[in-house]
Structure 1
Amino acid sequence: MKFNPKSKTSTIFLLIGSFAVVSLILWNTNSFFKTFKEEERLKMEIWATAQSEFLQSSENVELGNLHLRVFQNNTSTPMILINKDSSIRVNNIPKEKVTDSVYIQKKLKQFQSENTPISIDQQGEHLATLYYGNSDVLNKLKYYPIALLLIIFLFGTVIYFLFKTNKSSEQNKLWAGMAKETAHQIGTPLSSLLGWNELLKTEHINPDITKEIEKDIDRLQTITERFSKIGSLPKLDKLDIVDETEKAYAYLKKRSSKLIHFSFVSKIESVPVLLNSSLYNWTIENLVKNGIDAMRGKGSIAIEIVPDGKFVNILIADTGSGIPKSSYTTIFNPGVTTKKRGWGLGLSLVKRIVEEYHNGKIKVLSSGKEGTIMQISLKVAV
């Protein structure tokens, strides 16, 4: 599949454009925050000037005085005024906290960290020091860029998963198309093989040879059927899981190395399960072959069928080198393989057959130096 250069270019431009827009918003927000903070500073300086005038004026000041109006109009910025006689005046701070010295000291430190205190002087004489903090509006505005970044991050995550899902869907369609085409291409030589085998029977060749050829032809037909079913919903029949597993196992046993010891145990005589025989046999074949590869052609393969309430578990154990614990889940992802050669599609197909087509579960039950145990869980048919 060729990559479209135009698609790549448009994606790059989209990413650059998105980054530029986000940077512009953050810069604008930061500028607005600084401007707002400067305006609050200016307001506090005006308040300090009014306070200086007030302290220098006569004690009998009318309520309509401009200085008092300035004081009364400040309803948002918290402040603490410490006069030269160490008396304290607070504004926009809870009344119940005014007499709490520990709280006041804590607020003084907080205000100092947020804004530089303003010294109130008149004619060279120090009258008071004004400590003020950020208003509620400014505090909320301070967290706005963080909220904006979080929203952008969530939006980007959604876009990423949409692209990923779309790409995965396209890949699935591609693999399904390739599988169906492979099945179609195999059909022609299979027909010829059937004809040649019938011709061999007329040549008085050992019947055991032609029987084995027939078995392999049947196997090729089964493989063709498997590939043709990829991408479409298979038909499920009520079949005996013990019988189906044993048949698939027996075929592999006969065609595997004599250095491999095979064993089959079932703790129940028969269990009806909704199965597609061809795809289930493919699953067993993949898992057994993976075990053989892990043992490098020498060791033991064991299958055990165990009832588990409304489910039946099929355990496939080998004595191979094992799977790292960190790969227990990723091993089923397309393209992931522990082999030096291979496309990493076998276990991915197995997972899809078990979980999507048969509504079952498959997992690495355990793995270590002594080997690996894979577990398939299927629901018992009523």
Structure 2
Amino acid sequence: MDFSPKKKTSNLLLLIASFAIVSLILWNTNSFFKKFKEEERHKMEIWATAQSEFLSLPVDADPGNLHIKIFQNNTSTPMILVNKDSTIKVNNMPGIQKTDTAFIHGKINKFKAENKPISIEYKGENLATLYYGNSEVLTKLKYYPIALLLIIFLFGTVIYFLFKTNKTSEQNKLWAGMAKETAHQIGTPLSSLLGWNELLRAENINPEITKEIEKDISRLETITERFSKIGSLPILNEYDIVEETKSAFDYLKLRSSKLIHFSFNSQVDHVPVLLNRALYNWTIENLVKNGIDAMRGKGSIAIEIVPNGNWVKVLISDTGSGIPKKNFQTIFNPGVTSKKRGWGLGLSLVKRIVEEYHKGKIKVLTSTKDGTIMQITFKVKN
């Protein structure tokens, strides 16, 4: 992803423009709401004037077509007319009974909060008081800015996650490219080491020395294979998980401090599992090394293999300082690390290898101040 100053400036200008447009829409909506409210007030004042003239007419007088038309045209604004004799007339509020005085008085209080009541007078005498609420259109318009802000918020959230996903994808491509290049660069000195080891063997050097060198060369080849597979779908083959786990464990045991006690135990002799050998060995190495780091180079590391029906569990335990329970999930996120040195990629890669490539599961089984147990679960091949 391009993080150049030019790109950042464009993003900032786009953000400012978006904010300006949203502000303009909200301001315009608010202005329209006020204008519409004023027009509705004016309409109600006309209605009140017509009502004033109507109430002042003699009983047998003809109200006239204008008054009737004004009364008939107002069908959208809810109104409650309280006459001077305390009789109540309800307009444009279907379903409300005049006998439900408690509900009507509640509506009157609500209308008073929404709009100032209009006093209907004739020659200085108060004939009635008009309480009216906002029409359905005005009510919907009132909540339009909230709906607009919600839509903008949701839209912004989607954009943010798309940006974040795109950024993560670009970073993954970068790491994959660096890993493949590393594997390529290791290949040349590795070939030379193989040649030098053959020369040492020809010089009748102690066979144990050349044998150990071969193990280290084999280890470098495994590391090269691991890095070359990053970013591509690995091939899984059937292996005995007991043998593969013990092989990786023994290699680390021989090359670790004598202050660390290693123990391996399996409740079964053979368990067939579909594995990518290089990546699985990498998983065991990461978990064991994390345990060693947690113990500050002194303590006990144990691996136990436990069958569980169609699944097999690999338990890696250490006697380190433990992991806070609140971090049981976050430790598998990229960049999360408790070490002063390190990029926090180890457990993230382990989780991806186990769950995405091998369709298994990994979790912190238990963790206290006396140690941690990590659990990997794989499906047994039938």
Q: What is the TM-score with the length of structure 1 in the denominator? A: 0.96
- Secondary structure of 1:143 counterpart: helix
Letter paired with 2:113: S
Aligned-pair CA distance for 1:63: 6.3
Q: What CA deviation, in whole Å up to 9, does each residue of 1:274-314 have, x standing for no partner?
A: 10001000000001100100110111112122223322221
- Structure 2 counterpart of 1:116, which letter? K
Mapped to 2, the partners of 1:329 and 1:234 lie a distance apart of: 25
Tell me if 1:214 matches 2:214: yes
Change over 3 Å in CA distance of 1:24–1:302 after alignment to 2: same
Q: Residue 158 of structure 1 corresponds to which residue in structure 2? A: 158
- More deviation in 35-44 or 55-64? 55-64
After TM superposition, the runs of 4+ consecutive aligned structure 1 residues lying more than 6 A away are none
CA contact (8 A) 1:260 1:297 kept: yes
How far does residue 235 in structure 1 lie from its aligned partner after superposition?
Answer: 0.9
Cα pair distance change 1:113/1:30, threshold 3 Å: same
Offset of 1:326 from its aligned partner?
Answer: 2.3
Q: Contact 1:97/1:103 (CA < 8 Å) preserved in 2? A: no
Taking only the aligned residue pairs, the percentage that are identical comes to 77
Question: Could you list the runs of 5+ residues in structure 2 that have no partner in the other structure?
Answer: none
- Aligned mates of 1:143, 1:311 — CA distance in 2: 55
CA distance in 2, matches of 1:107, 1:343: 63
Could you tell me how far 1:374 is from its partner in structure 2?
1.4
Kept in 2, the 8 Å contact 1:310–1:380? The answer is: yes
Higher deviation after alignment, 56-65 or 13-22: 56-65
Separation in 2, partners of 1:308, 1:53: 91
Instruction: Report if the CA contact (8 A) 2:90-2:98 is conserved.
Output: yes
Distance apart, 1:52 and its partner CA: 0.8
Question: After superposition, where does 1:85-234 map in structure 2 within 5 Å?
Answer: 85-234=85-234
| Aligned CA-pair RMSD | 1.5
Which 10-residue stretch deviates more, 289-298 or 328-337?
Answer: 328-337
Does residue 44 (structure 1) correspond to residue 44 (structure 2)? The answer is yes
CA contact (8 A) 2:57 2:63 kept: no
Q: Counterpart in 2 of 1:239? A: 239
Deviations 1:223-248 (A, max 9, x none): 11111111111110011111111111
Distance in structure 2 (CA, Å) of the matches to 1:31 and 1:292: 67
- 1:201, distance to aligned residue in structure 2 (A): 2.0
Q: Distance in 2 between matches of 1:198 and 1:213?
A: 10
Match of 1:344 in 2: 344
- TM-superposed deviation, 1:368: 2.0
1:278 counterpart = 2:278: yes
Counterparts of 2:280 and 2:129 in 1: how far apart (Å)? 83
Bigger mean CA deviation after superposition, 115-124 or 101-110: 115-124
Pair 1:356 & 2:329 matched = no
The separation in 1 between residues aligned to 2:196 and 2:130, in whole angstroms, is 104
State the Cα deviation string for residues 144-174 of structure 1 (Å, max 9, x = none). 1111111111111111111111111111111
Question: 1:83 Cα deviation (Å)?
Answer: 1.2
Secondary structure class of the residue paired with 1:367: strand
Q: 2:312 — aligned with what?
A: 312
Contact between 2:238 and 2:275, CA under 8 Å: does it hold in 1? yes
TM-score (norm 2): 0.96
**Cα deviation, residue 61, structure 1:** 4.1
How far residue 45 of structure 1 moved from its aligned partner, in angstroms, is 0.9
Task: Tell me by how many angstroms 1:94 deviates.
Answer: 2.9
1:31-70 matched pairs, under 5 angstroms? 31-62=31-62, 64-70=64-70
- In structure 2, what is the Cα distance between the partners aligned to 1:188 and 1:73? 92
Separation in 1, partners of 2:95, 2:64: 25
State how many pairs are aligned: 382
Q: Does 1:259 align with 2:265?
A: no
Letter in 1 for 2:68: L
**Partner Cα separation in structure 2 for residue 72 and residue 307 of structure 1:** 83
Question: What SS does the corresponding residue of 2:231 show, helix, strand or coil?
Answer: coil
Letter in 1 for 2:98: V
The 8 Å contact of residues 54 and 63 in structure 2, kept in 1 or not, is answered as no
SS at match of 2:177: helix
Q: Which consecutive residues of structure 1, in runs of 5 or more, have no partner in the other structure?
A: none
